[in-house]
Amino acid sequence: MLSLIFLGVQTRASNRLALAASQREQRHIWQEMMFYIGNNTSEYRELLNNFDAMEPDRQTKAVVILFAMGNQLDTLLKLNAEGLETDDNLRYVMDAVVGHISTPGGYTFLQKMSAIDLYGDDVLNAVNAKLATMELPNKDFMEHMPWLRAS
One digit per residue, the tens of pLDDT, for the chain of length 151 reads: 778 787 888 888 887 787 778 778 878 888 888 888 888 889 999 999 999 999 999 999 999 999 999 988 998 999 899 887 889 889 999 999 999 999 999 999 999 998 888 778 899 999 999 999 999 998 888 888 887 887 7
Q: Which of 102, 99, 106 is nearest to 44 (CA)?
A: 106
Stated pTM of the model: 0.81
CA–CA distance, 86 with 144 (Å, rounded to integer): 26
Count CA atoms within 13 Å of residue 10 on its CB side: 6
- The distance from CA 114 to its chain's CA centroid, rounded to whole angstroms, is 16
Residue 36 sits at the vertex; the CA angle it makes with 32 and 39, to the nearest 5 degrees, is: 140
